[in-house]
Amino acid sequence: MGDVYDDLQEQLDQYSVFPKTSSGVERDILRGLFSQEEARMYLLMSLLPETASRVAERTGRDLGETEALLEGMADKGLLFRQRKPEGARYAAAPYVVGVYEFQVKDMDREFARLNEQYFEEAFGEQATRQFSLMRPIPVNRSIAVGWPVAPYDQAWEILKDKTLIAVADCICRKQQKLLDQGCDKPREVCFMFGSHARYYMDRGMGREVSREEAFKILEACEEAGLVLQPFNAQNPGGMCNCCGDCCAMLRALKKHPSPARMTLSNYYAEVDPEECVACEACVERCQMDAVQVGEKGVAEVDLNRCIGCGLCVTTCPTGAVALHMKPEEERQVPCVSGKEAFMQMAQVRGKSLIPLAFLSGKD
């Protein structure tokens, strides 16, 4: 293994999407986040949570020094931390979704600028090419009554089963605002659940909310025209409310000529030309530029671009737009857990989730 920041980039690209660039902007990002000591420790961590004593034992380090380093890294958002009765456990986190989002409290203009450069040079093109970590689901009021909709495709069902919910600012919207770009849509809209919620609350990145308040936030997000995107799992650790102006994942999808093929969505919108009055409300609501008024004077949906979010349905004044389930053979079932999602993404990308240091025998 070579330079510690080159090794760190390679490791992060194993865990999620963090490609190398010709400009080296990713090294600037990593140097701003990790000291060399922190980078070396990250390279010895896996995605599986471990106690400080276990890490110290297998790396031959002093327990007190190891615990202090791991705590410091977790406090900086460089590692994920679980609080357990028997003590804290630590794990490596991907850059997205993970280390980048963990900077929501501390992001400044320079960090925002570097990440925007990185998005334009590499991340935006790579983020959704083979496997997306997020998936759009229909906003609540767009789902027809009586449909046999799976719980994992309903935001309200996802929230209903969570015992601990936290909400945090959208880091994408914050980043764009720091760059004098983006939109003015609501910012405190990103949900975390369970141990992820606890970590956000421990670091002061988010606050606990009741289910009732979470439902009210969802309603406000739908009214504002935000796309619901849980993590790509049936039991997600988080759920975002995204816009095509700021959200990295939606911006990446928007660049693609066929966003529908690049995302896991089981729905599509259709317009009844007899009911359409060409008011263009659906055109304005669509985050993927999938709807336009055609030559016949009625709205038309480009099914190559439609990601089935349902935003066009909820503001149609005549009820001309409806959301439909895709044929059974085209429907996809998300991974059961986040762990399975990362494993599937690694397999699709030809990567391994085993830390490179383990493979090289340097652990």
**Cα 141 from Cα 222, distance rounded (Å):** 9
Amino acid 78: pLDDT: 98
Give the pTM.
Answer: 0.90
Q: Are residues 11 and 48 in the same domain?
A: yes
Q: How many domains does the chain have?
A: 3
Amino acid 1: pLDDT: 47
Enumerate residue ranges in the chain where pLDDT < 50: 1, 145
Residue 47: CATH number of its domain: 1.10.10.10
Q: Are residues 140 and 99 in the same domain?
A: no
Range of the domain at 216: 132-254
Amino acid 85: pLDDT: 83
The answer to whether residue 339 sits within a structural domain is no
Q: Are residues 306 and 249 in the same domain?
A: no
Q: Are residues 204 and 273 in the same domain?
A: no
Residue 296: CATH number of its domain: 3.30.70.20
Listed residue (7, 184, 179, 200) closest to 103, CA to CA = 200
The answer to whether residue 335 sits within a structural domain is no
The type of residue at 280 is E
Q: What backbone torsions phi and psi does residue 50 show, to the nearest 5 degrees?
A: -135, 155
Q: Are residues 301 and 199 in the same domain?
A: no
The answer to whether residue 317 sits within a structural domain is yes
240 neighbors 247 (Cβ within 8 angstroms): yes
Q: Of 214, 238, 254, which residue constitutes the final position of a domain?
A: 254
Q: Are residues 64 and 178 in the same domain?
A: no
The answer to whether residue 337 sits within a structural domain is no
The answer to whether residue 224 sits within a structural domain is yes
Evaluate the omega torsion of the peptide bond into residue 97 and state whether it is cis, within 30 degrees of 0.
yes
Q: Are residues 191 and 283 in the same domain?
A: no
Q: Are residues 11 and 72 in the same domain?
A: yes
Q: Are residues 101 and 9 in the same domain?
A: yes
Q: Of 254, 286, 303, which residue constitutes the final position of a domain?
A: 254
The answer to whether residue 162 sits within a structural domain is yes
Q: Are residues 141 and 242 in the same domain?
A: yes
Amino acid 8: pLDDT: 97
Amino acid 360: pLDDT: 67
**Cα 160 from Cα 164, distance rounded (Å):** 10
**Cα 80 from Cα 15, distance rounded (Å):** 14
Q: Of 221, 254, 287, which residue constitutes the final position of a domain?
A: 254
> Looking at the DSSP assignment, which residues form a beta bridge with residue 90?
50, 81
The type of residue at 239 is M
The answer to whether residue 266 sits within a structural domain is yes
Amino acid 172: pLDDT: 95
